[in-house]
Chains A and B, each alone.
Chain A
């Protein structure tokens, strides 16, 4: 097997959220650190879509910013196509520029991700100008028109300002900008959360089409499981900065092993279930400044038992996916034991 296109190895990100030094000295407060992402490892194959899901504050967006190089990881490494993303942050040589060109991002809020004072054509042309891919002139205009065409806008729209477009159109402009530098890997930080349902489908289908045409690799971050189901090949479920279950979409959605995945799936509103009470996800996300000991999910877990609040479960291969849960592992073990005693 070849090396994966994107590879995260034991990536952690810690933010120093301590009070200012003077306050700490006077009020005798300790330094405090927020572990936004802890010990995260996963791979993405070329041409694949991996979706990360989880509740607000579980570190999804931090993962996106770590991969794209907006944050430097505290420990661990992010490798893209065999190159450490760290060089894109620290150096400015040809390799770093090429790496930056390869990885682009689509942001959550289409109302904030486009500079309101720039014309759309300039916004879309920015990556091209920055990396000096095409000199200014007719060739650049043609390229911008083509990019706008990819996202079903016309060359004439390039003359307008972002505020003259709707949310869905803006998100498409954002996609056109992300495509401008011929990237291979797109990180989508919840690109549909600010859009209407009808527009969501439009943007998602567009993204799927583009992926097929250009062979793009996606990391798709979302809290919306239906959107994820629509677009992803593989799904990773995050809880409090850690992946608790990751595997093929069909496996994870079809037979969730982690109780948290099950809770998320049970909470989805469904037209067929109208009138019936749904199971809400019980409890609140714990404070990430002071996470529970053992498995971070144990205070909310219906299947909590002996070791859950003492030791942290590691990701284990079960039923064709990886799960970090003692309950799932012991069920698997007892099942194998039964099979063994029977045979």
Chain B
């Protein structure tokens, strides 16, 4: 541990105040989400705890608000702060898993396309191109729609999480494949790869031990951007009714539910989940940006 605190990365982290603030916010979001069942003031999905008498309460600093519900309640009397914490749990889970899946698929295929080249390259990249001509959300809709047909009706709710992770993950892989392929093409022609070939290192080893570490830099940055994209995709899918079921609402579901009440004056139902989403996305992004610079040995 002391080695970490002596390292260049920790030094550059300490000397970047923006990153420190962003990291603190990101950690707050992540801990709030992960520890929701323990630290949330209410359990909004426990019917015994909610009361319709508390419905549509404004945030506590407005005259008619109650201190018990700091950010107000929705039309069913659920505490907004608690729903945000439970919701971001699902949003984060979906986004992180979808991005991880797309990284594995995209980096793998991109590396293969760039390194092997020729027909393999053409086939992989044409598939990526074709997929990119469709809006990502349409692809996700299509895939989750098709996947639903194969899942038995009584298991749909329990498998919804996996279906949505898969359908969002599939929409994201071409970004990684393209980036990784183009950096692989650059790295492949560098002399250190030729040196490894002269030494007699096997092609797979060159691919994974020499080329892969050198093409991962941009992947990290895209991954953080894509976590934001994935959260938004998930929200859209949930809004369209093919995402998370109402029994497990995500941040996106909360925003889209809340917007029904915007015009009747209950702005807090949609605005607070929205702010939570922005804080989460921006802070994760800033941390990713810093990480890109910190991990680049040439900038150290």
Whether A101 lies near B298 (C-beta < 8 A) is no
Residue of A nearest to B299 (CB): A163
From known contacts A70-B198, A104-B199, A131-B200, infer whether A116 and B298 are also in contact, taking CB-CB under 8 Å.
yes
Contacts of A68 in B (CB 8 A): 198
Known: A100-B200, A117-B213, A131-B200. A107 touches B194 (CB 8 A): yes
Chain B residues whose CB sits within 8 angstroms of the CB of A112 once the complex forms: 190-192
In the complex, the answer to whether B201 meets A114 with C-beta atoms within 8 Å is: no
Q: Are B200 and A130 within 8 A (Cβ)?
A: yes
* Chain A residue with the shortest CB-CB distance to B212: A117
- In the complex with contacts A115-B210, A117-B214, A126-B197 CB distance below 8 A: no
Q: How far is the CA of A126 from the CA of B196 in the complex (A)?
A: 8
CA distance A181 to B197 in the complex (A): 14
Q: Is there contact, CB below 8 Å, between A161 and B297?
A: yes
Residue in B closest to A126 when the chains form the complex, CB atoms: B199
A126 to B206, CA, bound (A): 11
Q: How many residues of B contact A (CB 8 A)?
A: 17
CB-CB < 8 A to B195: which residues of A? 105, 107, 113-114, 174, 177
Closest-CB distance, A59 to chain B (whole angstroms): 17
Contact B297 A114 (CB under 8 A): no
Q: Is the CB of B200 within 8 A of A101?
A: yes
What is the distance, in angstroms, from A121's C-beta to the closest C-beta of chain B?
A: 15
Given contacts A116-B298, A163-B298, contact A69 B198 (CB under 8 A): yes
Which residues does chain A contribute within 8 Å of B198, judged by CB atoms? 68-70, 100, 103-105
Q: How far is the CB of A177 from chain B (nearest CB, A)?
A: 7
When chains A and B are docked, how far (Å) is the Cα of A343 from the Cα of B198?
A: 58
Q: How many chain A residues touch the partner (CB < 8 A)? A: 29
Bits for A160-173, please: 1 = Cβ < 8 Å to B, else 0: 01010000000000
Interface hits, B161-209 → A, CB 8 Å: 190-192, 194-201
Given A97-B200, A131-B200; A115-B192 close (CB under 8 Å) = yes
Q: Which residues of A contact B196 (CB under 8 A)?
A: 115, 126
Instruction: Please give, as numbers and ranges, the residues of chain A lying within 8 Å of B197 by CB-CB distance.
Output: 70
Which residues of B from 226 to 255 have beta carbons under 8 Å from A?
none
| A100 (CB) vs chain B CBs: closest residue | B200
Q: Does A109 contact B (CB under 8 A)?
A: yes
Does A288 lie at the interface of the complex (its beta carbon under 8 Å from any beta carbon of B)?
no
Q: Could you say which residues of chain A place their CB within 8 Å of the CB of B201?
A: 126, 130
A127 at the interface (CB under 8 A from B): yes
Chain A residue with minimal CB distance to B211? A115
CB distance from B102 to the nearest CB of A (A): 23
Q: CB within 8 Å of B: which of A219-263?
A: none
**Which A250-290 residues have C-beta < 8 A from chain B?**
none
A129 to B196, CA, bound (A): 12
Residue of B nearest to A187 (CB): B198
Residue A217 interfacial (CB < 8 Å): no
Query: From residue B185, how far is it (CB to closest CB) to chain A in Å?
Result: 14
CB pair A116 B214 closer than 8 Å: yes
In the complex, what distance in Å separates the CA atom of A323 from the CA atom of B40? 89
B191:A107 contact, CB within 8 angstroms: yes
Q: Which of A65, A68, A109, A126 counts the most chain B CB atoms within 10 A? A: A126
Query: Which residue of A is nearest B187, CB measured?
Result: A115
* Known A68-B198, A97-B200, A130-B199: A113·B298 in contact at CB below 8 Å: no
Cβ proximity bits A95-139 to B, threshold 8 Å, 1 near / 0 not: 001001101110111001111110000000011001100000000
CB distance from B131 to the nearest CB of A (A): 23
Residues of B within 8 A of A130 (CB): 199-201
A113 lies within 8 A of B192 (CB): yes
| Bound: A112/B214 CA distance, A | 12
CA of A97 to CA of B200, assembled, Å: 7
Query: How long is the Cα–Cα vector from A114 to B214 in the complex, in angstroms?
Result: 12
What is the bound-complex CA distance between A245 and B5, given in angstroms?
A: 62
Which residues of A sit under 8 angstroms from B213, Cβ to Cβ?
Answer: 115, 117
Contacts of A117 in B (CB 8 A): 213-214, 297
Report whether B199 and A181 are in contact in the complex, using a CB–CB cutoff of 8 Å. Answer: yes
Closest to B194 in A: A70
CB distance from A88 to the nearest CB of B (A): 8
Q: Select which of A69, A97, A113 is within 8 A of B191 by beta carbon.
A: A113
Nearest A residue to B189 by beta-carbon distance? A112
- Find out whether the CB atom of A109 lies under 8 angstroms from the CB atom of B191: yes
Q: How far in angstroms is the closest Cβ of chain B from A34?
A: 17
Contact A114 B200 (CB under 8 A): no
Closest to A174 in B: B195
Q: How far is the CA of A68 from the CA of B199 in the complex (A)?
A: 10
Find out whether the CB atom of A115 lies under 8 angstroms from the CB atom of B214: yes
In the complex, what residue of chain A is closest to B195 when comparing beta carbons? A113
List B contacts of A131 (CB < 8 A).
199-200
Task: Give the residues in chain A near B297, CB-CB below 8 Å.
Answer: 116-117, 161, 163
Specify the chain B residue showing the minimal Cβ separation from A96. B200
Taking A70-B198, A115-B210, A126-B196 as known contacts, 12 extra A-B pairs with beta carbons closer than 8 A to each other, sorted by chain A number, are A69-B198, A70-B194, A88-B200, A104-B199, A105-B198, A107-B195, A112-B190, A114-B195, A115-B192, A115-B196, A127-B200, A163-B297
20 A-B contacts, Cβ less than 8 Å apart? A104-B199, A105-B194, A105-B198, A107-B194, A112-B190, A113-B194, A114-B195, A115-B192, A115-B210, A116-B298, A117-B214, A126-B196, A126-B199, A126-B201, A127-B200, A130-B200, A163-B297, A163-B300, A174-B195, A177-B195
Which 5 residue pairs spanning A and B have beta carbons closest together?
Answer: A113-B191, A100-B200, A107-B191, A112-B191, A115-B192
